[in-house]
Structure 1
Amino acid sequence: MTSLIGEPMVIFCNAEGNKLLFSNEKKLVQLWWPSSIGKIFPKSGDKPANEHSLGLHKLLHLILKADGLREFVGIIDAVMKEHLQAYKSCKQINVSDMSKRYLLTLSSNIFIGINDPAKIETLMKHLQDIEPGVISMPINFPGTALNRAIKAARLIIKDLVATIRQSRIDLSSHGSSSRKDFMSILLSAKDDNDQLFCDDDISCNLAGLVVASYTTLRSTIFSIMKYLAELPEVYDSVLREQQAILDGKEANDMLTWEDLQKMKYSWNVACEVLRISTPGIGGFREAITDFIYEGYTIRKGLKILWTFDATHKNPKYFHDPEKFDPSRFQGEGPAPYTFVPFGKGPRMCPGNEYARVAILTFVHNMVTRYRWEKLNPNEKIIHFPAPMSAQGLPILLHPHNP
């Protein structure tokens, strides 16, 4: 046991520990967040969720599942293609900047239904203040990282509430909306008591989605671009798979759900990126009763940290763990509870399918258009709060021949 972020903390470091935590939600442990998260987004932390809010949370989970995402694949592909048009004449790009705008344009379109560049730039600024605050010391004084994050989160939620209210006015004036975005679905949905969900709950849940889909996905896309630049044989295999999908489509066809299912090697590459360069440190739980694990008594109230690298980089589970090897995910893949970038069990990240769609759509469009090389081969990697290159990974693009 140790002490982290001002709390007595037990750290679980193996697959057996992961299994125990993920299999005993609400039996031995429950989800816990550091107090900084609760201060930035109160409804996700220290405010008890009511039945109304829980119903909305469940509905969002359903939308984020595979069946709910099917109809959004073409929209996500269209957003990526439109995004790349801004870089059409560029020979050099910064991957961090490019992926930021892609992900925020995507989440603004898919979650909120807006495509205003000015609003997206404002959202980006707010998110840059939230990132450091999430892992900061829980000290809320003017000028601290946490204080800036709290202010930024409030501004995001305020903007979302205004957007929601305007959307409700539009719906009442023009009837049902033909828009396809998460907000439109939530505005017309009702809870178990046949009541519409309230604006504050919708805004908080959508704000949480935007934040959660930003830092981790941006880091993952950065790492994919980095490894594809460094490993030409891996790039060539990805290109062959993606080109075969492209060759089977008409000129203006969008990607489909069925296309994504064919991207098996590309997803193996993404999984190896998530293993070797996982965006984050792990997750937290709190013991809700005394229990014994490996001879140690875990007391009720103790906080628990399970870590990605404890299994992702453990040679017991992954031979030569620092080697980049997508074949680890062929066939049945890694042993249970050793590869857990999205967690497992009832608290598994609800955005795992959305992440897969966003990542594979990005990869498809990039590799079928370009090769690229790193402009600074010795650029340092920083981990704050997720892996990212110090300069944002500047690359030189080499377009394929038409």
Structure 2
Amino acid sequence: MANHRRNKMWEYLKAGRLGAPENFFLERMANYSPDVFRTKLLGQDVAVFCGPAGNKLLFTNENKYVGSWLPKYLYKLVIFAPGTSKEVIEKETLDIRSNPLPGFLKPEALKEYIHIMDAMAKDHLEEHWAPYKEVKVFLLAKTYSFSFGCNLLMSVKDSKDIARMYGPFKEMLSGLSSLPINFPGTPFNRAVKASRIISEEVMAVVKQRRREIVENRETAIRTDILGKLLEGPEDDGLVCKRIVAFLLGSYNSVSVAITFTISHIAQYPHVYERVFQEQMEIARSKAAGGALNWQDIQKMKYLWCVVCESMRLMPPSKGSFRQVITDFTYEGVTIPKGWKVYLQTFWTVHTTHRNPKYFPEPEKFDPSRFEGKGPAPYTFVPFGGGPRMCPGREYARIEILSFIHNVVTQFKFSKVDPNEKVIYRNTPFPENGMLIRLEPVDY
């Protein structure tokens, strides 16, 4: 296996900014091994596992071969008090990851939120889409995703309160794609300061709700996720961390999935027609003003195939690091303890998602790949796999489907620039925000 001592981060970032991150991986797979190769990123020796067998090995051996790990620079961007020791950060990070959010993220619990998701989508489209002939989908999808998370997670609905949090939230996220140079005035330094502001804002909401519960106020009775978290044994600090972690986890993934699903629907008329017919059938089956429900979501089979095919080509999650906790051998190569591995979609998109061995004509947009039994196990992993699959996957599925249902049933749309360039940083995004033209749908 290749032993690259030089940090390859610049090469990786350059490939992404040129719109071809696959070149970074395919070149190394061709030169060294199609199964596993070594590179150096963020100052760390990293083993990159390629293909479904590698995915399965890592996803199903959490805490056996690999364990939780964060790059050191992220310690300053997560929501821990200044001066918190590395040991405490690692323990609490592991607690958050090892104990997924409680049962209210399971499908049976999420059913009670569907009508709220539907209403929020309608309100957003009425305010931010309907008055205009053209809109930038990516920018509005991000705004919607953050507002949606604030509302559903902790009942923060006032636009001024959301705007006050959204500014530093975006600043914090920008630090994830900047060089970790913590000097005054650098993007990373601004992100560190912003992360503390977010922590303070969310903690204020948590403490206020705790006071309402203790004082048995009527306002404490709310059906949001914060209320359910506060029913558990965790202290306010860990509750705050869970809320912010969920905001971070859902923000990019949902907004990217929404953006590129709408992009692909607009690009392919036959896909649009089939999605439109499926969604209009659901809309016409409801009484005037009737909200979506669980049965409606289950009927959105073809739309979900379209979403999945969009995520295959444009994975919304970059993935996460793990640390090797014991020496192990894979495909004849020993991976030493202390090395890092990288899990999930952003890398595997180029070793499985676009591999013709698993997806014939991989560059072709074909939602039928996901009909019936769908792809082979561990070839399509936008939410991870095995026992450590993302606990928020059903939350994301319902949010995405309910939003796009409302877009499709209210507007006809087309892309202003069908050839808009896609940039890759933490996640893929359209260079100019994906401007689309809108026309109202006539029932």
From 76, 87, 101, the equivalent of 2:143 is: 101
Measured against aligned partners, the alpha-carbon deviations of 1:127-180 in whole angstroms (never above 9, x if no partner) come to 221222123333322222322222111111101111122222223334463311
2:289 paired residue number: 252
C-alpha spacing 1:2/1:50, structure 2 compared with 1 (3 Å): closer
The residue identity in structure 1 corresponding to 2:239 is I
C-alpha spacing 1:157/1:352, structure 2 compared with 1 (3 Å): same
C-alpha spacing 1:347/1:138, structure 2 compared with 1 (3 Å): farther
Q: Secondary structure at the match of 2:362?
A: coil
Rounded to whole Å, the distance in 1 between the matches of 2:97 and 2:262 is 35
Rounded to whole Å, the distance in 2 between the matches of 1:37 and 1:329 is 36
User: Please, what TM-score do these two structures have when normalized by structure 1?
Assistant: 0.93
How far 1:122 moved relative to its partner? 2.3
1:184 paired residue number: 227
Q: Which of 341-350 and 353-362 deviates more? A: 341-350
The residue identity in structure 2 corresponding to 1:144 is T
C-alpha spacing 1:216/1:141, structure 2 compared with 1 (3 Å): same
Rounded to whole Å, the distance in 2 between the matches of 1:186 and 1:42 is 18
Q: Does 1:173 align with 2:173?
A: no
1:372 paired residue number: 413
Rounded to whole Å, the distance in 1 between the matches of 2:243 and 2:257 is 21
Contact 2:135 2:436 in 1 (8 A): yes
Contact 1:381 1:389 in 2 (8 A): yes
Q: Does 1:218 align with 2:250?
A: no
From 259, 264, 276, the equivalent of 1:227 is: 264
The residue identity in structure 2 corresponding to 1:387 is P
Rounded to whole Å, the distance in 1 between the matches of 2:182 and 2:314 is 31
Contact 2:79 2:196 in 1 (8 A): no
User: Please, what TM-score do these two structures have when normalized by structure 2?
Assistant: 0.85
From 54, 71, 91, the equivalent of 2:133 is: 91
The residue identity in structure 2 corresponding to 1:242 is Q
C-alpha spacing 1:148/1:347, structure 2 compared with 1 (3 Å): farther
C-alpha spacing 1:232/1:94, structure 2 compared with 1 (3 Å): same
The residue identity in structure 1 corresponding to 2:279 is Q
The residue identity in structure 2 corresponding to 1:169 is R
Contact 1:131 1:149 in 2 (8 A): yes
How far 1:101 moved relative to its partner? 2.0
How far 1:207 moved relative to its partner? 0.8
How far 1:50 moved relative to its partner? 5.6
Q: Secondary structure at the match of 1:93?
A: strand
Rounded to whole Å, the distance in 1 between the matches of 2:224 and 2:98 is 16
Percent identity between the two aligned chains: 40
Q: Which of 166-175 and 313-322 deviates more? A: 166-175
Rounded to whole Å, the distance in 2 between the matches of 1:158 and 1:118 is 16
The residue identity in structure 2 corresponding to 1:183 is L
2:427 paired residue number: 386
1:263 paired residue number: 300
**1:181-330 matched pairs, under 5 angstroms:** 181-187=224-230, 189-191=231-233, 197-306=234-343, 307-309=347-349, 310-330=351-371
Alignment coverage as a number of residue pairs: 395
Q: Does 1:120 align with 2:162?
A: yes
In angstroms, what is the RMSD of aligned CA positions?
2.1
Rounded to whole Å, the distance in 1 between the matches of 2:254 and 2:97 is 24
From 202, 206, 219, the equivalent of 1:160 is: 202
Rounded to whole Å, the distance in 2 between the matches of 1:249 and 1:162 is 40
2:173 paired residue number: 131
Rounded to whole Å, the distance in 2 between the matches of 1:57 and 1:190 is 16
1:194 paired residue number: none
Rounded to whole Å, the distance in 1 between the matches of 2:398 and 2:440 is 24
How far 1:384 moved relative to its partner? 2.2
Measured against aligned partners, the alpha-carbon deviations of 1:203-245 in whole angstroms (never above 9, x if no partner) come to 1110111111111211111101111111111011111111111
Contact 1:274 1:341 in 2 (8 A): yes
Contact 2:118 2:291 in 1 (8 A): yes
From 33, 44, 51, the equivalent of 1:14 is: 51
Contact 1:285 1:303 in 2 (8 A): yes
